[in-house]
């Protein structure tokens, strides 16, 4: 470590705050506190860095802080919860791009750099550029841009990706041994070119249903790029913060891969797409039965145990408050109400937990998939609100499906299933859901919020 004792102590304090903040974020009840603590750690690190005597060019730094803070505040206040995954993707891209540019600037401005620093420069450019382009593709897929909705891959794509990675490592070796000046710059540019192609090829083959895993992985990459850049500019706080983000991101990615029955190796090398379309839609939905809010109210009137299964559609409809009101009414009538939460419900980890917490729904009522699945056969009514892929039984029955092997909320075991959706449109995986046509399923075609409010009103009028 380099720097004065007060600076090192400030970096140590910020690191401890980062670790404590991450610990607090492990549970929804303390997550907000964790974010505040981690933000304080970042503030300490920024102030300490600005007070470092080696720092110069305060005019540009202040302008950057003002512009960045203004943009951050605007995004935080204006971006809807439903668009949060896209924003995370963009922020990951910006983090990776920033690491690439900082490393490049240091390469051009510094003289007689050591081999280990040049290796760090190369790794920063490689990881940062992969993160930049991969995150932009993830953003495009989450935003459902037409040209990016369908996975794209070349024959032997994982092999090609592995070859590109090896080529990038060769260029890093060239960078570490090249003469200062044009030779190093040329090697670095070659790294960026190969990393750009690799970043695109890693994410383009992956289907939309697996984007939450990709966003988590790109978040990890952005942290690793930041840590590498910390070695380049000899900043201990950046090394520690980047390492924490990188490690926690990998752990989260592994947890999500397990929840979706995916291979982490396949994620790393861009092999998660494929599968059939799930059958002819007209044939799958031949026996779909629709219902009304009044009929659903009568079914719920005698129910003893009710389970809500929230999905992305609930987020779009902003129906969480209406769901809370309905659940309170059902509990007042003697029913037990729970919420079945799939690990990747919505489009990013914890999406549903945040929405339900926003509506002041008790954390004790939120049940993870593994906890509630064994008891679903004793549920009188399951109400699926805007969820699709996470309740699709095709994951268990069709080995060629894009979601084959993904654990689901097994609502098909419940006595009655009420699915609230605007239409029979497919989920993010783009395949039909045979759950909608099962004998114990009724479809309520309506806006999620309005449908729940109509059910609540109908129950009160019984």
Active site residues: 389
- Which DSSP category does 442 fall into? E
Percentages (nearest 5) of helix, strand, coil residues in the chain? 65, 5, 30
Tokens in use for 275? 């599968």
d(CA 157, CA 223): 26
Q: At what angle do helices 182-203 and 84-109 cross, to 10 degrees?
A: 170
3 C-beta neighbours (distance < 10 Å), count: 19
CB 425 within 8 A of CB 397: no
Tokens in use for 48? 């300490």
DSSP letter for each residue of 161-184:
HHHHHHHHHHHHHHHHHSPTTHHH
From residue 264, alpha-carbon distances to 36, 252, 272, 408 in Å are 31, 11, 10, 19
d(CA 346, CA 82): 8
Task: Tell me, rounded to whole angstroms, the distance of Cα 379 from its chain centroid.
Answer: 30
d(CA 164, CA 188): 15
Question: What are residue 290's phi and psi, to 5 degrees?
Answer: -95, 160
d(CA 228, CA 129): 13
Residue 279 backbone zone (phi > 0: left; psi -120 to 50: alpha; other: beta): left
């Amino acid at each position: 470590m380099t720097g004065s004792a007060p600076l090192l102590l400030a970096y140590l304090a910020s690191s401890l705050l980062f670790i404590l903040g991450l610990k607090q974020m492990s549970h929804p009840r303390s997550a907000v506190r964790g974010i505040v603590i981690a933000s304080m750690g970042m503030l300490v690190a920024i102030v300490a860095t600005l007070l470092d005597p080696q720092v110069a060019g305060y005019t540009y730094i202040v302008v950057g802080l003002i512009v960045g803070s203004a943009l951050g505040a605007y995004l935080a206040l204006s971006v809807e919860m439903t668009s949060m995954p896209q924003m995370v993707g963009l922020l990951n891209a910006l983090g990776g791009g920033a690491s690439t540019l900082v490393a490049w600037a240091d390469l051009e401005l510094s003289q007689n750099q050591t081999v280990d620093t040049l290796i760090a420069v190369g790794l920063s450019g490689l990881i940062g550029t992969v993160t930049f382009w991969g995150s932009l593709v993830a953003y495009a897929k989450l935003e459902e841009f037409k040209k990016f909705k369908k996975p794209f891959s070349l024959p032997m794509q994982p092999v090609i990706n592995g070859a590109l990675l090896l080529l990038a490592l060769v260029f890093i070796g060239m960078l570490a041994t090249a003469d200062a000046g044009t030779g190093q710059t040329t090697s670095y540019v070659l790294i960026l070119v190969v990393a750009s192609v690799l970043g695109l090829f890693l994410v383009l083959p992956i289907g939309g249903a697996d984007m939450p895993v990709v966003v988590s992985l790109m978040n990890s990459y952005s942290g690793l790029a930041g840590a590498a850049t910390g070695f380049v500019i000899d900043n201990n706080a950046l090394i520690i913060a980047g390492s924490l983000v990188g490690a926690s991101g990998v752990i989260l990615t592994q947890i999500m891969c397990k929840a979706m029955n995916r291979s982490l190796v396949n994620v790393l090398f861009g092999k998660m797409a494929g599968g059939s379309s799930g059958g002819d839609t007209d044939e799958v939905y031949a026996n779909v039965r629709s219902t009304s809010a009044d009929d659903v109210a009568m079914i719920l009137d005698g129910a003893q145990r009710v389970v809500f299964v929230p999905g992305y559609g609930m987020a779009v409809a902003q129906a969480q408050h209406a769901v809370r009101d309905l659940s309170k009414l059902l509990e007042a009538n003697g029913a037990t109400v729970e919420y079945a939460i799939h690990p990747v419900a919505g489009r990013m980890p914890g999406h549903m937990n945040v929405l339900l917490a926003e509506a002041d729904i008790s954390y004790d009522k939120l049940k993870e998939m593994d906890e509630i699945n064994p008891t679903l056969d004793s549920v009188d009514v399951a109400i699926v609100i805007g969820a699709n892929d996470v309740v699709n039984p095709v994951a268990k029955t069709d080995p060629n499906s894009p979601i084959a092997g993904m654990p689901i909320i097994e609502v098909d075991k419940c006595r009655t299933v009420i699915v609230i959706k605007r239409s029979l449109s497919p989920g993010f995986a783009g395949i039909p859901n045979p759950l909608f046509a099962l004998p114990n399923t009724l479809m309520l075609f309506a806006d999620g919020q309005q449908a729940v409010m109509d059910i609540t009103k109908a129950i009160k009028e019984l």
